[in-house]
Amino acid sequence: MLQRKGFTLLELIIVIVVIGILISFVWPKYTIVVEKSRVTEAKNMLSAIRHSQIRYYAAYYTYATNINSLDILRPILQRYFTYLTVGATSSRVGRATRTTTERVIPVTYIVYIDENGNFSINDSSLDYLL
């Protein structure tokens, strides 16, 4: 009698269904972790903007209103965020804006840094990203 080696079609379908169920549980957490890492990158850049703003203030007694006036090297490729300075009208000295299209509805949020180095976000439902 011939012995056949391999999997039946039913066994393969069951394995694919189980893998799909596991991915459906893991995917939301994965997207949150990825977005947090992108915000961490923005926070690092905003910290550099803040330090540059402090140096600019020491030289000119006002904060820069244009990011090109600062003595920092901006990333050549701004893939996730757009960085801007915020003038002397508030205690905020820099901001990073992101429009994410990875969800069904595009979401735009802004991460701010103030002159004391504190971060804030414009949407309180996204505080978990900070």
Q: DSSP assignment of 25-54, as one string?
A: HHHHHHHHHHHHHHHHHHHHHHHHHHHHHH
User: Which CATH fold would you assign to the domain 9-129?
Assistant: Glycoprotein, Type 4 Pilin (3.30.700)
CB atoms within 10 A of CB 50: 21
Helix, strand, or coil here: 121?
strand
Q: What is the CA radius of gyration of the chain?
A: 23
- Sign (positive/negative) of CA torsion 102, 105, 110, 111? negative
Domain boundaries, the chain: 9-129
Q: Is the pTM of this model over 0.85?
A: no
pLDDT in tens, the chain (130 residues): 567 777 888 889 999 999 999 988 888 888 888 888 888 888 888 888 888 888 888 898 888 888 888 887 766 557 788 888 776 566 778 888 888 776 666 778 888 888 888 888 888 878 888 7
Task: Look up residue 83 and give its amino acid.
Answer: Y
